[in-house]
Chain A
């Protein structure tokens, strides 16, 4: 089936940027009360708004973990203004899988965590 591609499973088993930062400027935690999952994302942002470092600490399903991992790679080195403009559809495109309605929330949890940081 399409949902569990090799890439998704690889990110799930070995999420990128999954180590704590020595120092961070921003951090947010988001919970999914239905499944008891949580995701913490921390950022080190320089004065110009560029994301210099990112750390994710995912506790969840393959879809939300892979989404967090892929998103963390994507945002590294980008400006937070650009990140603020990201939409749910953008993250679904990055995942490159057929997402079912029941799992949409899992896929977009990392983006809503990031948005929480930037608000």
Chain B
């Protein structure tokens, strides 16, 4: 069991009050707050050992390089990659998907090939494939969801064929919280020789991830959704596939030999990291992973399920409140809801009067909104510092909305 009140003390932002009220932060699926150890790691690097990496023949550069590369090693261990050369740092998960769509996609996708996605993808795992499909004359196939807000596995099996070259799938919906049984989906795709990319942006901060066990070819995620700094994303790729892919961006640090008119390229993973990377934030990202490990992903999952169960109990009491959520055991710590005849923007605005931070929008998942037949939803999403009393505050805010709108 974890103690959210004790954890909250590690996050300086929660000392802040706005209009006399403490902050009830329930928008963790968008981005999490940062613990002091991560903030301190940034300051420590700039104050004590900062220099550009992979080039300086002096102690500062060597120390920075070691710290940067040890973050790569930590990341590889965190997801059980075979080797740290399979870990590429990008700006965010979106850039990681674009890297695959351009480098792998442009090389291996041909006219008439098919790419399978699900209807619950974030735009970041849809738009790059739309563009690739239109560049190459390939086709997108979409896995629907069932009435219980889970992916339709039987429908998915029917979409697979010899034409399927890629399955690109979220491991957890950022709207519904639905956890995808990825291993089962990957196994089917592999029967047809398709490659598989898993979007772990939502799942990795909350659920144990093991790339070798699930056997995906690519995995992407973002530091900022797991206590780390913004500006750091991760692409994991199987070494034998990354080796066959051409570089995505060209320039410094990614080269082996450069002459005036021709160049050869560096080994993995540096082949894919052109230019000076986000050194300091990557170094601090390691601290975020260590912090999560010190709490334990099993404890995190258990804690969030407890919060979700409590929130669903509270919110389902109101007849005008509609929940978009699968069975609790199939869901991560995300709860989308709507209140009859009240627009989510108005709901979130009223929640904000008591500093209850929730998200209200399409959540960058426009096609899913259409599938759910809604314009947008309200969403609360949990992390390790949330308490049952945060949900009580959210319920109070909900009552206030009903009172103001007289429903």
Contacts and interface: CB of A to CB of B under 8 A. Distances in A.
18 contacts: A1-B404, A3-B349, A4-B350, A4-B404, A9-B405, A35-B360, A36-B361, A36-B362, A36-B369, A36-B376, A60-B343, A60-B375, A61-B346, A62-B405, A63-B345, A100-B349, A100-B352, A102-B352
Interface in A1-37: 1, 3-4, 9, 33-37
Contacts of B247: none
B366 A103 contact: no
Contacts of B345: 35, 60-61, 63, 103, 106
Contacts of B105: none
A59 B360 CA distance: 15
Interface string A50-78: 00000000011111000000000000000
A72 B313 CA distance: 43
Contacts of A34: 361-362
Contacts of A35: 343-345, 360-362, 375-376
B121 to A, nearest CB: 17
Interface in B331-376: 342-346, 349-350, 352-353, 360-362, 366, 369, 375-376
Nearest to B342: A62
Given A35-B362, A36-B362, A36-B369, A59 B375 contact: yes
Nearest to A65: B343
Nearest to B400: A1
A93 to B, nearest CB: 20
Contacts of A61: 343-346
Interface SS, A side: loop
B375 A37 contact: yes
Interface of B: 342-346, 349-350, 352-353, 360-362, 366, 369, 375-376, 404-406
A119 to B, nearest CB: 27
A106 B375 CA distance: 15
Nearest to A36: B375
What are the nearest 8 A-B pairs in CB distance?
A61-B343, A61-B345, A36-B375, A62-B346, A35-B376, A36-B362, A36-B376, A61-B346
Nearest to A103: B349
A33 B342 CA distance: 18
A115 B352 CA distance: 31
B359 to A, nearest CB: 11
B189 to A, nearest CB: 31
B350 A62 contact: no
A61 B349 CA distance: 11
Contacts of A62: 342-343, 346, 405
Contacts of B353: 1
B362 A102 contact: no
A3 B401 CA distance: 12
A86 B86 CA distance: 57
Contacts of A59: 375
B349 A102 contact: yes
A33 B352 CA distance: 22
Nearest to A62: B346
Interface in A28-48: 33-37
Contacts of B366: 36
Contacts of A60: 343, 345, 375
Contacts of B376: 35-37
Given A4-B346, A34-B361, A63-B346, 11 more contacts: A1-B350, A1-B404, A9-B406, A35-B344, A36-B361, A37-B376, A59-B375, A60-B343, A62-B342, A63-B345, A103-B349
